[in-house]
Structure 1
Amino acid sequence: MTTQDIYQEIRPYSDDEVPAAIERLISDDEFITAILHYKFPSASKFLFWFLAPLLRYKLRSSLSKITTVEDVQLNVASYLNKTVKKTTNGITYTGLDKLDPNQAYLFVSNHRDIAMDPALMNWVLYNNKMQTVRIAIGDNLLKKSCSTELMKLNKSFIVKRSAKAPRQMLKALGLLSSYIKHSLETNNSIWIAQKEGRAKDGNDFTDPAILKMFHVEGRKRKESFSDYMNSLKIVPVSISYENDPLDVQKAKELNAVATLGSYEKGEFEDIDSIIKGIIGHKKRIHIHFGDVVTSAPESADELAEAMDKQINQNYRLFPINYAAANSESDDITAEVKRELEEKLAQLSLEEQPFLRALYANPVKNAQ
């Protein structure tokens, strides 16, 4: 059995698998229906029946030249260029000059948007002629086969969160930890969020369990926590959005959890969140690449704390953050105050504090 076979269930597609994966996508009725629903939300079923063959023909024609992972990346880069121009007021970044373009890194970032966090970091790397990353994505987002095809085509690997039995969980964690190390050893950088799920409340804190997962392979190799963490070349990354297109939705969800004890997602809610995050206006965005972890402590909790210090102190604070936190700032204009009030007006009195916290907590955590 080859190393590649060991990781087959979770790894991204390789060049020789790309054409077949694209064909499976084009043949997938749910994928075609999803595109048509997005393009023609009020169209009848009869119109879908008429348009589906035309869409398949067009896709086969336009995607026929995509035969490698690099081809996929070039197409994604082209789409991202348009998305950045259309949905942002520009992206700035700092800290990239301290990284070696020929070195593979384990990028651990705060997590605000399902798709855009790794995509925008990749956009910065790509435009600076650095290799793009392999992206960790939870299997909870891959309930549809077409979602799996799309993600694995775009250098994503699967984190099996659905495993519940202890033996299954240990096996999944071991495979994931081994794959991350294997990727780095074969000079492939990785992106993974600092904790499971987005920080809907604006609190960007690393879950020590993620760091312990990294070390599963280290324990197998009989390496200390500190030595193994240093070998991974971990880079804490801070991604800051001036405007969160899903802020109102996140506030409603957090209020539901606080008042009802839980929040039940709709069947297509994750997909809807991905689409809104992509097409929603984000205003200014800043990405800071932190210092590589070179002297990790022997405790996951201590390392998480050190990484959080970097992530929170390097988070770019915008006027709306200061306004939400009721902080003094010359940058808080009447327009900023009005924008915040318009957001709050979309929510009930019980929901409003959650939206305010989403923007205010980065100010408190930076201090």
Structure 2
Amino acid sequence: MSKFDDIRPFYDEEVNDALQSVSKHPMMKALMRFTFPDRDDSFWLEKLENVHSIYDFQSKVIYQTVLQILEKSSEGLSTSGFDKLDKNTSYLFISNHRDIVLDTSLLNLVLFEKELIMTSSAIGDNLVGKKILHIIAKLNRNFLVQRSVSIREQLSSSKTLSDYIYQLLTEENRSVWMAQSEGRTKDGNDVTQQGMLKMLAMAAGDSSLIDFFKNLKIVPLSISYEYDPTDALKMPQLIAKSKNEVYVKNKNEDFKTIISGVLGQKRRIHLHAGKVLDQELDCIAHQFENKNKQLQAIAQIIDKSIIGNYKLWPTKYIAYDLLYKTNQFSDRYTEEEKQLFERRLEMRIKDSDETLRKHFLEMYANPISNKMKYEQKSTV
């Protein structure tokens, strides 16, 4: 028994038995038929029988699944920054978060193709309540963030999570993916939660905070979709937030969001791996002695990298001009691209609902507003 058993992925020796236990489940059948559309069931059943490790499952199955997703629902994936990473080094990717499944899946596809160390990825236990989803997550090297524990248990749960992430990075030489804040960003404002960094630092022990974070080799990751396939689904939560109301999810809302994210049209996608945080952390150590100030400064550095390296597709510029009734960025998009975006807006938002329209446009436009703010700060 390990103190990590409640949150860890499967060990390799557990993989085949776990796969065989779900190979004929309707959801697994649907996944395999999507992944191998031109093959009969015997093909993938035999393939699953020969999977004996998480790497096998990711490279022989999930890699093919993500390629199918890209082929059917996108116009291609581009990358930058990954050539500066070392193939034998594990990194902590701290990322903006748009899609429950795709963000990590696309990162691991890139890491696999570039022969870099693939990640173990954090996922909230609220997303894997069904046994089949829990098993698939563990097969795909996900570890659980326990969000359903009581307030009394939260401190212990956070310490266990922190210790596990530190073990993955420093003892197992396994890269890790974490979202910069809890849950997906709904409004396009990508902000690193200081609480997430505090959780990571729980494993620091007596080490200096800066030395600890340098040892994690943090890589800020910017993920940008030209179209957010779940944009309309995020509207009710944004409206509730604007009214200071508590938003209660429908029973199958998370599952519907997962399917929409996977199958919905994304057009172009870009992933940028920022520079490993190193000298910036040294500067923070010289500037601040207070740990809270240091954590705040680290969060700001991550934000600056994610926002600064976020790919601004034409949809972002169109939304900005529509939102602020300007032609400031009209040279960044074509009339055809504008018409396509306006048609998407009309299909998702009723003309009479100005509040929904505003939130929808802000979701796409805020990355531009935030980048402009950071550029203005750097010139002051």
TM-score, with structure 2 as normaliser: 0.85
1:152 maps to 2:146: no
**1:219-234 to 2 correspondence within 5 Å?**
221-234=205-218
Paired residues of 2:23 and 2:48 also in contact (CA < 8 A): no
Tell me if structure 1 keeps the 8 A contact 2:80–2:273: yes
1:91–1:56 Cα change, 3 Å: closer
> In the alignment, what sits opposite 2:224?
240
* Residue of structure 2 equivalent to 1:324: 319
Q: Give the number of equivalent residue pairs.
A: 343
Deviates more, 1:291-300 or 1:124-133: 291-300
Seen in structure 2, the aligned counterparts of structure 1 residues 58 and 264 have a Cα distance that, compared at 3 Å, is: farther
TM-score normalised by L of structure 1? 0.88
Distance 1:363 1:13, change over 3 A: same
Aligned to 2:8: 11
One-letter amino acid matched to 2:364: Y
CA deviations over 1:145-174 (Å, ceiling 9, x no partner): 1111000000100011111223x1111111
**Offset at residue 135 of structure 1 (A):** 0.7
Structure 2 partner of 1:269: 253
Return closer, same or farther for 1:33/1:233 CA change in 2, 3 Å cut-off.
Answer: closer
Partner of 1:306: 301
Question: 1:251 matched to which residue of 2?
Answer: 235
Partner SS for 1:239:
strand
Cα shift readout 1:237-294 (whole Å, capped 9, x = no counterpart): 0001001111111123312443471322121111111111111111111111001111
Instruction: Judge which range, 346-355 or 192-201, deviates more.
Output: 346-355
Structure 1 residue runs of 4 or more that deviate by more than 4 Å after TM superposition:
33-39, 55-62
Q: Distance in 1 between matches of 2:27 and 2:305?
A: 44
**1:315 counterpart = 2:310:** yes
Q: Work out the CA distance in 1 between the residues paired with 2:57 and 2:29.
A: 18
Q: Which residue of 2 aligns with 1:162?
A: 148
Q: Paired residue for 1:196?
A: 182
1:96 aligns with 2:82: yes
Displacement of 1:61: 4.4
Distance in 2 between the 1:342 and 1:255 partners?
22
Q: 1:354 to 1:153 in 2, by over 3 A?
A: same
Which stretch of the first structure deviates more once superposed, 149-158 or 293-302?
293-302
Distance of 2:368 and 2:221 partners within structure 1:
17
Deviations 1:65-105 (A, max 9, x none): 22221210111111212221222111111111111110000
2:37 alignment partner in structure 1: none
For the aligned residue pairs, the C-alpha RMSD in angstroms reads: 2.2
1:224 deviates by 1.7
Change (3 A) 1:33 1:118: closer
Name the structure 2 match of 1:114. 100
Alignment of 1:13-162 (within 5 A): 13-26=10-23, 31-32=25-26, 60-74=45-59, 75-162=61-148
Name the SS for the 1:18 alignment partner. Answer: helix
Structure 1: 5+ residue stretches without partners: 40-54
Letter in 2 for 1:359: Y
Amino acid at match of 1:301: Q
Cα separation, partners in 2 of 1:26 and 1:34, compared to 1, 3 Å: closer
Is the aligned partner of 1:349 residue 2:334? no
Give the stretch that moved more between structures: 152-161 or 293-302: 293-302
1:37, distance to aligned residue in structure 2 (A)? 12
Secondary structure at the residue paired with 1:90?
strand
Aligned-partner residue type, residue 367 of structure 2: P
| One-letter amino acid matched to 2:275 | D
2:341 matched to 1:340? yes
